[in-house]
Chain A
Amino acid sequence: MWDFLGDQYEQILFSSWQHFSLVVQCLILATVIAVVLAALVYRNSAFTGIANSVSAIGLTIPSFAFIGLLIAPLGFGVVPAVIVVAFFATLPILRNAVVGLSGIAPSIVESARGIGMSRFRTLLQVELPMAWPIILTGIRVSAQMVMGIAAVAAYSLGPGLGGFIFSGLSRLGGANSLESVLTGVIGVVVLALILDLLLVGLGRLTTPRGIRV
């Protein structure tokens, strides 16, 4: 095991970084998409219902099948990996953003409008900041989930630690195959922990004292 780690040291670090970077970038993209979608739907109960159903049903799609389906039209490479990871990352964030935005007391929104804030300004300065802790919780859930999904996405020859897992599994029993799989799995777990810590720190920095629980 240690020999393997020693030999592949640079490759592991590089892949870890790629993996981490893929997840973080997809999370940012997913957050933007989810918040925009949530902002579009949260004031309409029918749309809110649809959004919640989509995020619930979407999570039941097996990620491996999804990426397999995407390879046919898009080919191998980074693009299908990004799509799959961003798609799954969006779902929990969307759900939390809708819950967070619709959970704000109507009186707060009314007082914002009443002192002359426009609809958009109210969303930007009052509703989103107040919903932010809940949205961030969604981001943390997403981050944990898509760390694993990003590994699966390596099936399409995308970047990341998934490569170690797939190459190990494909020649199971051969030299260093188990080490390769373990490296991939443990690497993903470690990365997930690191990212979660970073997100907790981000929450600390970005949540005003007035709405900290």
Chain B
Amino acid sequence: MSELIASNPAESTATDGSTGITGASILLDHVTKRFPGQARPAVDGLTMEIPAGKIVMFVGPSGCGKTTTLKMINRLIEPTEGRIVVDGEDVTEMNGDALRRGIGYVIQAGGLFPHMTVATNIGIVPKMLGWDKARIAARVDELLELVSLDPALYRDRYPKELSGGQQQRVGVARALAADPPILLMDEPFGAVDPITRLRLQDELINIQEELQKTIVCVTHDFDEAVKLGDWIAIFNEGAQLEQYDTPERILGDPANEFVENFIGSGAGLKQLTLTRVADVALSDAITGRPGERAADVLARIVEAGHGHAVIVDERHRPIQWLSRRKLGRLEVVSQVPDPKLPVVGIRSTLNDALDTMLVSSAGAALVTGRRDMFKGVIDVKTVMDAITRSQSAAVLESDQAPVGLNTGLFQAQAAAAEAAPGESAPGEAAPGESASSTADARAAQ
């Protein structure tokens, strides 16, 4: 996770070929949206930087203005004040339809057109952009492959002939059709069942690893934000940014009570989904083989000071996990696999690993790598250490956070500070000036 943060300062551009980023940076500059007939603005003086090639998650209670903010990026909702800058270019005044053709847009359930086939749906933006038929057809097949749908099977289907998850995949494919640098997603996985949602999230992560778009995604599900986001923006009413930071830092060092409440209980547990078993140090184990004399194995673990021995088969797959007591009672180690063996894959999250440990009641789990080969043992202590480490690391990583603040709120605070003599008034950081001003902004808050 740390290299994700280190790799890309907020100001970097989309054309940075060396990192393979195809996304564009976005800057919301003092953006305000007032809807007619409403006393308070829906979005109030928001300044926010969205770094190129990253996934930024907008979370917050309903009605907080996160969706409004998202829709102002492609100007589906026109900002009342302020500028939208994409990749250094002010797009506030350009033709809205042309702007939107260059930005992918995914909504809940995909928003597919029911009277068009999957292929027509996906090809609609390229068609508007004037691509020829052969190129569109090739692109449609390529995208269906990308979202794990067999083109031959699904190309000519209509949306109602697809499951919810498949519709959502086609929705993503349609948004990616003209290879836009930016993808906006409005609660994209809200309408599918939890299992499908997890799979779609994993797929989005894979697609993003390949494409490195700039993705802005609105969700009300904080766990989804933690799982998908490189950066998470937590909004309060009027699109007040409460905290805009990495998932690690938001979990480890919430900015205020609102953020704490929003995270809910179990921040430590949520952190576990950020780390994979492969990222932590595993303990060694003494291994034995079926057919060995139990006493020999016991002697080995006593010598090593271990409590258990792992019995592996000829392909080094764990089949039993024997305690000293069990070994003491046995004559010869059998080759019957234990069906209740607590095993986790090396790509699982620590969360899954902890689950397995708790179910097995052993306080530890066996880790297997490729082809189920035994890799080592992970125990509760390793997991606890990982939590502590990521919490302390989170406090340190603060430099390269993109700028995000509300000028309305900020000016009010500055004014309040000036009004109170004796207190040092915080210098008003010019928004969007540079990434380093964030530290000042945060200190001022």
Report whether chain A binds chain B. Answer: yes
Taking Cβ atoms with an 8 Å cutoff, the residues of A that contact B are: 107-108, 110-118, 121, 126, 129-130, 208-211
Contact B116 A113 (CB under 8 A): no
How distant is A64 from chain B, measured CB to nearest CB, in Å? 41
Question: Which stretch in B48-56, B94-102, B411-419 binds the other chain?
Answer: B94-102
Main secondary structure of the interface of B (DSSP, over half): helix
Residues of A within 8 A of B74 (CB): 114
Contacts of B99 in A (CB 8 A): 116
Does the CB pair A116–B158 fall under 8 Å?
Answer: no
User: Is the pair B100, A107 in contact by a Cβ cutoff of 8 Å?
Assistant: no
A110: which B residues are within 8 A, CB to CB? 76, 107, 111
A95 CB, min distance to chain B CBs, angstroms = 22
Q: What is the chain A residue whose CB lies nearest that of B108?
A: A107
- Among B97, B103, B125, which residue has the most Cβ atoms of chain A within 10 A? B97
Asked if A114 and B100 sit within 8 Å, CB to CB, the answer is yes
Contact count A vs B, C-beta below 8 Å:
70
Chain B residues, CB < 8 A from A107: 107-109, 111
Confirm or deny: B289 has a beta carbon within 8 angstroms of a beta carbon on chain A.
no
Are B100 and A210 interface neighbours, CB within 8 A?
Answer: no
Q: Which 4 residue pairs of A and B lie closest in terms of their CB atoms, listed nearest first?
A: A111-B111, A210-B158, A116-B101, A114-B105
| B-side interface residues, number (CB < 8 Å) | 33
Q: How far is the CB of B66 from chain A (nearest CB, A)?
A: 16
With a CB–CB cut-off of 8 A, which chain B residues contact A121? 128
Cβ-based interface call for B117 (8 A): yes
Chain B residues with Cβ under 8 A from A126's Cβ?
113, 115
Q: A115–B125 Cα gap in the complex (Å)?
A: 7
Interface residues of B in 67-108 (CB under 8 A from A): 74, 76, 97-105, 107-108
When the two chains form their complex, are residues B160 and A210 in contact, meaning their CB atoms are under 8 A apart? yes
- Interface digits, B335-374 against A, CB 8 Å rule (1 contact, 0 not)? 0000000000000000000000000000000000000000
> Interface of B with A (CB < 8 Å)?
74, 76, 97-105, 107-117, 124-125, 128, 158-161, 171, 174-175, 184
Q: Do A112 and B113 touch across chains, with their CB atoms under 8 A apart?
A: yes
Q: Which of A116, A130, A209, A210 contacts B128 (CB 8 A)?
A: A116
User: Most chain-B CB neighbours within 10 Å: which of A107, A113, A116, A118?
Assistant: A116
The contact sample of 24 A-B pairs, CB cut-off 8 A, is: A107-B108, A107-B111, A113-B76, A113-B100, A114-B74, A114-B76, A114-B111, A115-B101, A115-B105, A115-B124, A115-B174, A116-B101, A117-B97, A117-B128, A121-B128, A129-B115, A208-B115, A210-B114, A210-B115, A210-B116, A210-B160, A210-B161, A211-B114, A211-B115
Which residues from B are CB-within-8-Å of A115?
Answer: 100-101, 104-105, 124-125, 174-175
- Return the chain A residue nearest B160 by Cβ: A210
Contacts of B159 in A (CB 8 A): 210
